[in-house]
């Protein structure tokens, strides 16, 4: 007889197999990220924070999430809890479509119009996906945020993230 999950009658480790696969996959993804982060060459120009910092941080966090998912799967899994939810809302296909459109718009526009306009368009579409009914306000906020981010990267950090048509202006 298969071991029972903690606190659940009739739920075996076999039923949590897909959950275990997901947990181990995320754990492996985090380890791969750490391995690749350590492969980044570092020059002596970096005194403290170098190019390995962020990939190592992200890889470490992904390892922690993967370990947590794996542990949860070994304790019986989590997907059965999702299946038992009776009051789960229906999938909002409009919101998913707007999110996908935001990603595609950014991908298509970033080379020609630049970061500021591509990210602003994405901001407006994502705000609409989250239920905003004020596209002009979202446009103004998105423009302010993305312009601020562009200027911070370009002027303060010296990193060119693509000005596009604003190249001569900024």
φ, ψ of residue 33 to 5 degrees: the values are: -65, -45
Dump pLDDT digits (tens) for 30-47: 999 999 999 988 877 766
Please state, in angstroms and rounded to a whole number, the distance separating the CA atoms of residues 11 and 2.
9
CA atoms within 13 A of residue 117's CA, in its CB half-sphere = 12
Dump pLDDT digits (tens) for 92-151: 999 999 999 999 999 999 999 999 999 999 999 999 999 999 999 999 999 999 999 999
Give the residue from 18, 30, 108 showing the smallest Cα distance to 64: 30
In 3-state terms, what secondary structure has residue 104?
Answer: helix
Sign of the Cα pseudo-torsion (117, 118, 119, 120, in order): positive
Tell me how far apart the terminal alpha carbons of the chain are, to the nearest angstrom. Answer: 69
Residue the block writes with tokens 């459109």: 101
> What band does 86 get if pLDDT is binned at 50, 70 and 90?
low
What percent of the chain has a predicted confidence (pLDDT) above 90?
58
Please state, in angstroms and rounded to a whole number, the distance separating the CA atoms of residues 68 and 81.
16
pTM of the full predicted structure? 0.60
């Amino acid at each position: 007889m298969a071991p029972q999950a903690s606190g659940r009658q009739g739920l075996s480790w076999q039923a949590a197999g897909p959950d275990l696969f997901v947990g181990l996959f995320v754990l492996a993804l985090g380890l791969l990220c750490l391995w690749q982060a350590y492969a980044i060459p570092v020059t002596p120009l970096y005194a403290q924070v170098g190019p390995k910092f962020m990939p190592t941080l992200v890889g470490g966090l992904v390892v922690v999430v993967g370990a947590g998912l794996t542990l949860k799967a070994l304790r019986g899994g989590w997907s059965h809890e999702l299946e038992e939810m009776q009051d789960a809302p229906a999938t909002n296909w409009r919101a998913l479509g707007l999110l996908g459109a935001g990603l595609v718009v950014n991908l298509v526009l970033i080379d020609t119009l630049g970061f500021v306009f591509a990210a602003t368009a994405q901001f407006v579409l994502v705000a609409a996906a989250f239920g905003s009914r004020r596209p002009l306000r979202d446009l103004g906020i998105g423009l302010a945020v993305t312009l601020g981010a562009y200027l911070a990267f370009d002027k303060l950090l010296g990193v060119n993230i693509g000005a596009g048509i604003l190249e001569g202006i900024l």
